[in-house]
Amino acid sequence: MNETEKKKIIIIEDQAGFRLIYRGVLESDGYEVLEAASGQRGWELIKTEIPDMILLDLILPDLSGYEVLTKIRDNETTKNIPVIIFSVLGSGKDIRKGLELGANDYRIKGDSSPTIILDKIRTLLSK
Amino acid sequence: MASEKILIVEDELIVSENIRQILFKLNYTVSAVITSGEEVIQTVSQTKPDLVLMDIKLKGEVDGIEAAEEIRSQFDIPVIYLTAFVDDNILKRAKITEPFGYIIKPFEILDLRTAIEIALHKHRIDKRIRFSHRLLEIANQSDTIPKVVKQFLFEVKEYTKYTSAGIRLLDEKGNSPYVISDGFSKSFVTAESRFPLKPDPEIFTLSMVDKNNPEFSYFTKAGSAILNDIKGHIASTARKKGNWINDLYSQYPYQSAAWIPITVENKIIGLLHIVNSKKNQISLETLELLEKGAMQLGIAVKRMQVEKTLNQHRTHLEELVDERTSTLKKINHKLEKEILERQKTEEKLFNSQSSFHNIVEKGGEGIIVVDDRDIVRFINPTAKRFLGHISKRLIGRPFPYTPINGRSDEIIINLQKDATGIGEIRTVSTKWEGKKAHLVTIRDITGRKKIEQMKSDFVSLVSHQLKTPVAEIKEFTDIMLRGMAGDFSEKQKIYLQEMHQISARNFRLISTLLDVSRIERKVISVNLSMFDINKMINSVITEYNNSIKQKGLILKYTPNKKIISVLADKDKLFEALNNVLDNAVKFTSKGSITIQTEIQNKFCFIKIMDTGSGITGNIRNKIFQKGQILYGGPSTQSGCGLGLYIAREFLRLQNGDIFLDSTSKKGSCFTLKIPLAI
């Protein structure tokens, strides 16, 4: 896989630890990883970079994950980018809301292993 | 009477000396002669003159009018102005000070004498009138008897300048509860109170009156008596035995005394007794005034006694009227009237047990008795206040909350003003008039609830914040264990494994706390859907396959051949099942765990039986409560005591329930009840 073929994934996550984990896991799997620590920064990054996949946390400073997801789905150029919500929130209500807003998948932090998310990303990107 | 003391204020020495001589001739005493207005107050307070002759034009800052005004405002002493000229303006100013006379200089001896005598007389009359008026005022006010008597004595002292005085009063029953004295020693009061209220005419016979000096003693028609020379009287009647005056007064240094019976409707109810250490201090005129005063006091005492009784009667009458009115209101409802009357009897009975009554009436807990037809039979003030607007008259009416014995609930209650709070309403069974009834108590738990809410909010916040880092650690160890961050030695892998497990356990614990917090804040939502219970049981079992094998236990589960479709919340049912199974695995060291399903009355019952240590005694009743940590399992496996609590709360949220059937030696059997989807 050469540079130009590398798929681009944006991680929007305020916890440095999770960014570190997923950058490691995803880069070793051959993806290009970009990071944003806030919802607003994440949305700006999405608009300029147009990534292939977005990993989105829900509890974020300024814009929440739900708000960012709404913006992605409302924008012509970004509306088809796959989004995986990845949050410590895990009630049925949270999950339903995420999926209704157009998330492709919902993972609860601490309940799943990074490898499961990696599998999900692979599946979604191979489509 | 001793000659009156007169103060002269005059700045011209010739005039003042002239006046002094005239006064001397006229048999008055000159208490002092001063020349300036500034000295007046001090001299008056030191010499206490009976009258002041005041020159209007004085040298210095303070003129005669100003000085007279000061005398008027501070002392009760008449002032006569001496002036050489009468200027309208001055006259106007002088008038304001209410002078007792004017003498225009130059004056004749007779002018001075007349003016002084008129002033003194006028002043005496004024004083008398004021005194009578004051006594009448006191007698007309409504206060307690001792307070009125004390004021009465104070006025008498101001007027008569007595050395000591006392009042004895009888109450309606003829007892003598009031002995109020001013200046008498305790021993005198005790000795005096043994003597009759009415001076005995036998003792005050004419023989006692000093014929040579008849002014020294009197015995009036009203029954009052004066002795103006006690020592002389004692000396002249020394041989008469049983004379209480002699017996009493020979031991005390009093010279004049007056006894004035306090009479109401020709009945003597008390005695006013004043004494003076000097002879000849009580005139017949004073005695008459005191007799009038005593009569007014008597009437006042009687009036206050009657008022007191009336008040008691009125209060009682008001109560009666109130009860009567409410009875009349209900006259159309024959049945309700009966209930009310019974309740009244009950209330009266209740009132008679005054100490218990007090507890019920004044306690901070709302207490209501509701009969078996849900009709309110008793309600205490606290409960009325809690129930506020809806309970103007609750007795005899249906109780707005259906009482279920043994249940407790939370309701909105009224607190002070418009504030509302949370009340805990509890019902226990009781008996009322020999019939089954409900005793409903309402307790204000607003404060407790607030604290619980704060605690719960705090737990939720902390849980979310704790979850994130624990999840991070868990995932770091996860990728390290999967070799995604390079190779580790075997020892390092074991440590990492341990770290991974600890963070996984912590993660679950925090999730559990979060669940409890949600249950308590009642912010939990239920999403019911239809699904096959067999599948869910299988997926729960999968989670425990490993630990069951490790412990060498046997799991007996035969899935039902038919699909059992239940209507439940998937997540919460999973959690409940998981918690019960977790419990079974934890507390079973050998043997088996059996899971059975059966259908009965629109419900699916899942039985989870183990051969573990079982649950007995006190714990049985508390097992589903929060914080019941079970011991018996290995200590590392002890939970946080919340699993079964959550299981029951979650099941109840979806119209299910959980029961325990356990006999210690045979292990435990938990039954989960879940509604079928029909």
The answer to whether B105 and B83 are in contact (CB under 8 A) is: yes
* Distance of residue A109 Cα from the nearest chain B Cα, in angstroms: 6
- Picking from A86, A93, A34, the residue whose alpha carbon sits closest to that of residue A58 is A86
User: DSSP letter string over A92-119?
Assistant: HHHHHHHHHTT-SEEEETTTS-HHHHHH
Q: Give the burial class of B127: count Cβ atoms within 10 A of its Cβ; 0-12 exposed, 13-18 middle, 19 or more buried.
A: middle
Helix B643-653 vs helix B570-586: angle between axes, to the nearest 10 degrees?
150
Chain center to CA of B338: 36
Q: Could you give phi then psi for residue B287, rounded to 5 degrees?
A: -60, -40
Residue B33 forms beta bridges with which residues?
Answer: B8
Predicted local distance difference test score (pLDDT) of residue A101: 93
Q: Could you give phi then psi for residue B463, rounded to 5 degrees?
A: -60, -45
Q: What is the pLDDT of residues B373-401, one digit of tens each?
A: 888 888 888 888 888 755 567 788 888 88
Q: Distances in Å between the alpha carbon of B295 and those of B172, B263, B300?
A: 17, 6, 8
Low-confidence ranges of chain B (pLDDT < 50): 1, 205-209, 211, 632-638
Q: What is the pTM of this model?
A: 0.39
Cα atoms found within 13 Å of the Cα of residue B14, Cβ hemisphere only: 2
The answer to whether B511 and B474 are in contact (CB under 8 A) is: no
Predicted local distance difference test score (pLDDT) of residue A57: 93
Instruction: Determine whether the interchain pair A114/B571 forms a contact, defined as Cβ–Cβ distance below 8 Å.
Output: no
Q: What is the pLDDT of residues A41-78, one digit of tens each?
A: 999 999 999 999 999 999 888 889 999 999 999 999 99
Predicted local distance difference test score (pLDDT) of residue B485: 81
What whole-number distance in Å separates Cα of residue B350 and Cα of residue B336? 20
The count of other CB atoms within 10 Å of the CB of residue B466 is 17
Instruction: Determine whether the interchain pair B478/A91 forms a contact, defined as Cβ–Cβ distance below 8 Å.
Output: no
One-letter amino acid identity for B514? Answer: L
One-letter amino acid identity for B73? Answer: S
Predicted local distance difference test score (pLDDT) of residue B362: 76
Locate the chain A residue with the closest alpha carbon to B525: A93
* Distance of residue A77 Cα from the nearest chain B Cα, in angstroms: 32
Instruction: Determine whether the interchain pair B478/A113 forms a contact, defined as Cβ–Cβ distance below 8 Å.
Output: yes
What whole-number distance in Å separates Cα of residue B607 and Cα of residue B616? 18
- Joined tokens for residue B307: 């008022």
Predicted local distance difference test score (pLDDT) of residue B205: 47
In this complex, is the C-beta atom of A4 within 8 Å of any C-beta atom belonging to chain B? no
Locate the chain B residue with the closest alpha carbon to A21: B476
User: DSSP letter string over B440-498?
Assistant: EEEEE-HHHHHHHHHHHHHHHHHHHHHHHHHHHHHHHHHHHHTTBTB---HHHHHHHHH
CA angle B656, B662, B666 (to 5 degrees): 135
- Picking from B6, B131, B5, the residue whose alpha carbon sits closest to that of residue B80 is B6
**Cβ density class B168-185: b for 16+ within 10 Å, e for less:** bbbeeeeeeeebbbbebe
Instruction: Determine whether the interchain pair B471/A109 forms a contact, defined as Cβ–Cβ distance below 8 Å.
Output: yes
In this complex, is the C-beta atom of A113 within 8 Å of any C-beta atom belonging to chain B? yes
Give B571's contacts in chain A (Cβ within 8 Å): 91-92
* Distance of residue B469 Cα from the nearest chain A Cα, in angstroms: 8
What whole-number distance in Å separates Cα of residue A52 and Cα of residue A58? 19
The ipTM of this complex is: 0.77
Give B485's contacts in chain A (Cβ within 8 Å): 24
pLDDT tier at A100, thresholds 50, 70, 90: very high
Q: Give the burial class of B602: count Cβ atoms within 10 A of its Cβ; 0-12 exposed, 13-18 middle, 19 or more buried.
A: exposed
Provide the pairing of β-strand A83-87 with A105-108.
parallel
Residue among A88, A94, A115 with most chain B CBs within 10 A, to mutate: A88
The answer to whether B593 and B577 are in contact (CB under 8 A) is: no
Predicted local distance difference test score (pLDDT) of residue A1: 46
Torsion of CA B97, B100, B104, B107, to 10 degrees: -150
Predicted confidence (pLDDT) at residue A84 exceeds the cutoff of 90? yes
Q: Could you give phi then psi for residue A49, rounded to 5 degrees?
A: -95, -20
pLDDT tier at A34, thresholds 50, 70, 90: very high
Element (H, E) at A63: none
Instruction: Determine whether the interchain pair A21/B569 forms a contact, defined as Cβ–Cβ distance below 8 Å.
Output: no
Give B470's contacts in chain A (Cβ within 8 Å): 110
* Distance of residue A80 Cα from the nearest chain B Cα, in angstroms: 29
**Mean pLDDT value across chain A:** 89
